[in-house]
Amino acid sequence: MKLYINSIIYTILMFLLSEGICIAQFYNNGSQVTVTNGTQLSIKSSDLINNDSSIYNAGTITVEGDCFISNKPNSRIITFGTDSLIVYKNFTDGSLYGQNSGVLTLKGSNQTIASTSSLLANLYIMGGGLKTISGSAIVRFKLDLQQGHISVTTPNIFGIDSTGSIVQSAPGTNSFVIGALYRKKMNGVDSLFYPIGNSISEYRPASLLGISNPTAGNPTFSIATNISTPAAGSGISTIYNRVWTVKSNKPSYPVNNIRLTYLPADVASTSLQNLIVGQSASLTGKYASIGNISAQAGSVLSEFKPSQDFYAIGSSNNVKGNFRVLLEGPFNGTDMDSKLFTNNALSDSLLPTIGMLPGYSIPANAVDRIAFVLKSAGTYIDTAYSWVLKDGSIKDFATGTKNYVTFSKAIPGNSYYIIADHRNHLPGSSDNIKLTNTSTNGVYNYDYANGVFGGGAKFDLASGKWLLYASDSYKSFKNQTDVMDVGSVGRDEIQFVTGNNHYRRTDVNLDGSIDAKDFQLSTDHNSKLYYSTLP
């Protein structure tokens, strides 16, 4: 049975009831049809066929069968505002117009979008099952992956317009996109983004497969152009606690590299965690690490080209180190002075706090920031930053709340050399020590002579405490105290750098002033020519 609307004259069919129900096939063959605001038109167990003319939908049209729009010049369904065209079976759009606003909701279990160049304002994926894109389609504003999967068949294009976005308003339903997803760039040229994102706005991923905690934060990819392929990051790693996995099927595109960034709005429960991204030939196999990323705004993974079938993002090995180190410059015989903190030199200067997470403060009694460099047999592995406190203990640099630093490119149980590297002291290295992925593996004390590598940079106070030598303020490649250090301090002193809240390398004793005390300490150390021996 069919309900025909077939007229050569201009007619308007107005649905004025709260709900209009059609139990036959709805067939429009030339009339303008308007569904008014607040009205629902339900086509029960049958199809909507718009063969000619227009259907203006300011309410809600629910089609339990197929929805077909012909390719005739005037054939179209226009849905306005936030109202919806809900289709339970296949949606075929042959129109030349597409949607300017409104929502197309695919709510069946298995459905197909078949079109030559469909332009959809908003597309909601619901009802589960597989939604197959068997023709090209562009979503102008929002793709909402609530429940169900989208499969893009080759060589069709399924994409997001330049100002569009991808959301998942019902997290945990394992909804994702299979295959390539395009994004139409601002200049109108189609470019493949897999998955999707750009520098204008941030986007969630197009694929959300295997997320153990979807609300913990979702990484997003974006394409960077004209960037050479970097070397792989840190060899082979097992990725724990995966938050994101995607099968790429080794796409021939993107021809450019992929860049990983992190969404600050989505990282509440993992905002202090380092994540690692890797690629593998199998879903459950070993993943080659291609970099790591901190869950904080602005954190970026170097670009890479896809060369394997599977990509995963999850917790890295997260090897942790708890250290204690004393610096000669601010040492007062008992502990270290924290005058840079009390004089506000740390907080007033931009440099010391670059990289801290928003909402956190410099910990009390902070002397300065310090780097710990991880090496294996002379090969650089990773660097972690911390605050060193007046008693020599540390707090993580990002938050100032944890008593350890995290190395995300190391392997638990392996032994490493760890170099304590301060901006105006000689660096000193541990001997090979074993680190674990917990913070309870003890403290490595640089302030005592246990397992020191090489020597030279550690100064014995005769009281049993050791310090890193001060006065390496010039920081050349030689890692030694020499005339270059004296000269740099002397130039600042002669220029009468006044005040007590300066953050400069020439402030050898870290009291915020560049004065005769700094010059004297540099002169003494220059005459002795102290140096560091590093792995």
The arithmetic mean of pLDDT across residues 162-172, rounded, is 62
The arithmetic mean of pLDDT across residues 121-145, rounded, is 81
How far is it, in rounded angstroms, from Cα 374 to Cα 384? Answer: 8
Contact predicate 291/423, CB 8 Å: no
Give the model's pLDDT for residue 261: 42
In which band, very low, low, confident or very high, does the pLDDT at 219 lie, cut at 50, 70 and 90? very low
Angle at 119 between CA 118 and CA 121, to 5 degrees: 140
Task: List the single range of 150-154, 195-199, 382-386 with lowest mean pLDDT.
Answer: 195-199
In which band, very low, low, confident or very high, does the pLDDT at 337 lie, cut at 50, 70 and 90? very high
Contact predicate 328/300, CB 8 Å: no
Give the model's pLDDT for residue 388: 96
pLDDT at 355 over 60: yes
In tens, the pLDDT along 392-427 reads 999 988 889 988 888 877 766 677 888 888 888 888
Give the model's pLDDT for residue 480: 67
Kindly report the number of other CB atoms within 10 A of residue 228's CB atom: 7
Highest mean pLDDT among 242-256, 301-315, 397-411: 397-411
The arithmetic mean of pLDDT across residues 470-483, rounded, is 71
Give the model's pLDDT for residue 277: 64
The arithmetic mean of pLDDT across residues 436-441, rounded, is 53
More confident residue, 373 or 145: 373
pLDDT at 49 over 80: yes
The arithmetic mean of pLDDT across residues 363-382, rounded, is 88
Question: Residue 282: which residues within 8 A CB-CB, separation 6 or more?
Answer: 309, 310
Highest mean pLDDT among 77-81, 328-332, 513-517: 328-332
In which band, very low, low, confident or very high, does the pLDDT at 455 lie, cut at 50, 70 and 90? low
More confident residue, 213 or 30: 30
The arithmetic mean of pLDDT across residues 167-184, rounded, is 55
Parallel/antiparallel/unpaired status of strands 466-468 and 458-460 = antiparallel
In which band, very low, low, confident or very high, does the pLDDT at 105 lie, cut at 50, 70 and 90? confident
pLDDT at 308 over 70: no
How far is it, in rounded angstroms, from Cα 221 to Cα 226? Answer: 16
| Chain mean pLDDT for the chain | 67
**CA proximity to 512, closest of 491, 498, 492, 495:** 498
Give the model's pLDDT for residue 369: 93
Give the model's pLDDT for residue 390: 94
User: Helix %, strand %, coil % for the chain, to 5?
Assistant: 10, 40, 50
Question: Residue 66: which residues within 8 A CB-CB, separation 6 or more?
Answer: 47, 48, 87, 89, 90, 91, 92
Q: Identity (one letter) of the amino acid at 246?
A: V
The arithmetic mean of pLDDT across residues 452-476, rounded, is 65
In tens, the pLDDT along 50-66 reads 888 788 888 888 999 99
Q: Identify any residues that bridge with 35 across adjacent strands, giving them in sequence order.
A: 15, 57
Token digits of residue 326: 């004393």
3-state secondary structure (DSSP) of residue 320: strand
Query: CB-based burial of residue 143 (10 Å sphere; 0-12 exposed, 13-18 middle, 19+ buried)?
Result: buried
Contact predicate 194/166, CB 8 Å: no
How far is it, in rounded angstroms, from Cα 352 to Cα 246? Answer: 38
Cis peptide before 306 (omega within 30 of 0): no
pLDDT at 39 over 50: yes
Task: List the single range of 231-235, 336-340, 346-350, 424-428 with lowest mean pLDDT.
Answer: 231-235
Question: Residue 167: which residues within 8 A CB-CB, separation 6 or more?
Answer: 142, 143, 144, 145, 204
What residue segments make up the domains of the chain, in order of their start? 211-316, 319-528
Give the model's pLDDT for residue 365: 95
Parallel/antiparallel/unpaired status of strands 257-262 and 300-304 = antiparallel
Report the share of the chain in percent with pLDDT over 90. Answer: 6
- Tell me the CA distances in angstroms from 172 to 169, 178, 219, 313, 365, one per residue in order: 10, 17, 15, 17, 43
Give the model's pLDDT for residue 450: 52
The arithmetic mean of pLDDT across residues 367-387, rounded, is 88
How far is it, in rounded angstroms, from Cα 1 to Cα 296? Answer: 59
Q: Looking at the domain covering 319-528, what would its CATH class be?
A: mainly beta
Highest mean pLDDT among 31-40, 362-371, 468-477: 362-371
In which band, very low, low, confident or very high, does the pLDDT at 243 lie, cut at 50, 70 and 90? very low
Cis peptide before 155 (omega within 30 of 0): yes
pLDDT at 71 over 60: yes
